[in-house]
Chains A and B, each alone.
Chain A
């Protein structure tokens, strides 16, 4: 069965510092991968997605993610975090239409 692991429940980063959120997936075929962000009490916003091609994908708000097949990973990065980036981040595996498997999320806290 497909699964997604986000090993960090909480991460605290200083404003201006770099960020990396980890994501590992389990899926037998080529996965379709997404990162979504959720602010408190809000819906999910799509940050970026990987379907095929270049394994380094750029998203909105200065985020990027790299697909590493050998490590079954799709880590999210940002070179310089802003206070407005504080939110919960979900790594998601898509296995075609209708079926998304969500990680349990990583809550990002940004310290001054």
Chain B
């Protein structure tokens, strides 16, 4: 069954701690994305990757880092530099259709600060 998985579903972070959110896809999509969702707001792009070993900053990359060592995996690390990390984090992968792309989303990870 193809899809996108994110783990864990809930994650708790202590002050000064780095935490890593997992995102895996078996859709064979080249592109992958990380978004942050806050209440009452639309999604905001953190990082994206079009190909293995390459990634670009999105609109709100400060305090976050990513890696793309495998096509299937795109983990997101929330560093201690991110002062307001409490949010719902969504991973997506993109399927190209000519000049456009459709993005498909995982179930999300909710990050809470202790």
Contacts and interface: CB of A to CB of B under 8 A. Distances in A.
Q: Which size class do A's interface residues fall under?
A: 20 to 34
B108 A42 contact: yes
A90 interface: yes
Contacts, number: 61
B76 interface: no
Interface in B26-48: 31, 33, 40-45, 48
A44 B105 contact: yes
A28 interface: no
Would you call the interface of chain A mostly helix, strand, loop, or mixed? strand
B3 to A, nearest CB: 10
B84 interface: no
B56 to A, nearest CB: 8
Interface string A69-112: 00000000000000000000010001011101111110000000
Given A42-B107, A43-B90, A43-B106, A96 B100 contact: yes
Given A32-B100, A98-B31, A41 B108 contact: yes
A8 to B, nearest CB: 13
Nearest to B104: A46
Contact of B99 (A43, A96, A103, A104): A96
A34 B108 contact: no
B102 interface: yes
Nearest to B90: A43
Contacts of A94: 100-101
Contact of B40 (A36, A90, A97, A104): A104
Interface of B: 4, 6, 31, 33, 40-45, 48, 50, 56, 90, 92, 94, 96-108, 110
Given A4-B42, A34-B102, A100-B103, 5 more contacts: A32-B100, A43-B107, A51-B100, A96-B101, A100-B43
